[in-house]
Amino acid sequence: MPHLVLLYTPELEQETDVSALCRALADTMLEQRDEAGKAVFPTGGTRVLAYPAAHSAVADGKGDYGFCYANLRMGSGRSPAVHQAVGDSLLAVLRAHLEPILQRRPLGITLQIDESAAQVYDAKHSSLHPLFTKPT
């Protein structure tokens, strides 16, 4: 964890580079620091995944409407200030990347951040983390 999942109306793939958006969002996540200057997210655990909706209905259906929903799921324990800074930073990337579309037609953007505070099971197996963990 953290996982940022994008769900969007499928026509966005013809209008923007979704892979570049994913990379920009991941890089932004990796740049985040807490009040003590420590990285908010572990490099090996940071993931951004994007999916076009197989089916969608937006608003009244009478226009060329698009939508992008972003949900960041992170472990608990970070301060409200970190939540705000992370959210503001990610929303700025989404807005900047999607601005050309926003200028051409109606597009909704939603970003939500959830903490997994009440986990009942959380198993991980990864060969990624050791790549970014410095020996002490």
| Amino acid 119: pLDDT | 61
In this structure, what is the dihedral angle of CA atoms 96, 86, 21, 52, given to the nearest 10 degrees? -110
Beta bridge partners of 73: 3, 114
Q: In whole angstroms, what is the distance from residue 6 CA to residue 134 CA? A: 31
Over the chain, what is the mean pLDDT?
91
Could you identify the residue written with the tokens 């940071």?
46
Q: In whole angstroms, what is the distance from residue 136 CA to residue 130 CA? A: 12
Q: In whole angstroms, what is the distance from residue 127 CA to residue 110 CA? A: 32
Element (H, E) at 103: helix 80-104
Per-residue pLDDT of the chain (136 residues; tens, 9 = 90+): 789 999 999 999 999 999 999 999 999 999 999 999 999 999 999 999 999 999 999 998 898 999 999 999 998 889 999 999 999 999 999 999 999 999 999 999 999 999 876 665 566 667 676 777 777 6
Count how many domains the chain has. Answer: 1
| Amino acid 129: pLDDT | 67
Q: Tell me how crowded residue 95 is: count the other CB atoms within 10 A of its CB.
A: 12
Q: In whole angstroms, what is the distance from residue 42 CA to residue 32 CA? A: 10
Q: 83: domain range?
A: 3-132
Say which CATH number the domain at 44 has: 3.30.429.10
Sheet strand arrangement including 47-52: 47-52, 3-8, 66-75, 107-116
